[in-house]
Amino acid sequence: MNPDTVSQWLGTVPQWLTFLGVMVGFRVTYLQLRHNQLVSVSDSTIAHNADFLKQPEALKAIQMLEGLKVPASGFEAYWATRGVHLSHANLVWRVWELAGRPGRGETMNSRFDGWERFAREIITKKLRASVQAVESGGTKPEDLAASDLWSALRSYEAFPTKFVDWLEGLDG
């Protein structure tokens, strides 16, 4: 190999390192913007849901649009339960995104194991138990709300399908 060629090649190394650094910077910026957009959408969703929980007439419209089983005598309990579970699902969705979007049957990184336990025990197990209670004839507003939400997660709520698959795959 010609020493002049090697010298010329070595002279371009700083330029290539600069190029690589810029490309890595673009990638990091892209990922950060994507994450910020997700957080912004999640924040808007949480605020949107919270606003509706304060408006009884809007809740009646939601009930009609979504075909919910809201009992007349347990209206407040139904919506309080649904709001709490929906809020929990939104929080866990954010953590799931930060944990790298694990798939069905996959576990989160150990940094997030408390959140995974929370999702399993407070979302998945509780909602599934309410579905079973309603299927067995239960009429408690809390069970009706949780049962409606469990089916809504799959059919029309705005959570990623992969997130819902992951929730359904949690041991419960």
- Per residue in 80-133, pLDDT (tens digit) is 999 999 999 999 998 998 899 999 999 998 999 999 999 999 999 999 999 999
Query: Which token pair is 56?
Result: 């009884």
In this predicted structure, the answer to whether residue 24 has a pLDDT above a threshold of 70 is no
Provide the H-helix boundaries in 3-69: 3-53, 56-66
pLDDT above 70 as % of the chain: 76
Which has more pLDDT, 144 or 14? 144
77: closest CA among 145, 152, 129? 145
pTM of the model: 0.72
* pLDDT, position 42: 65
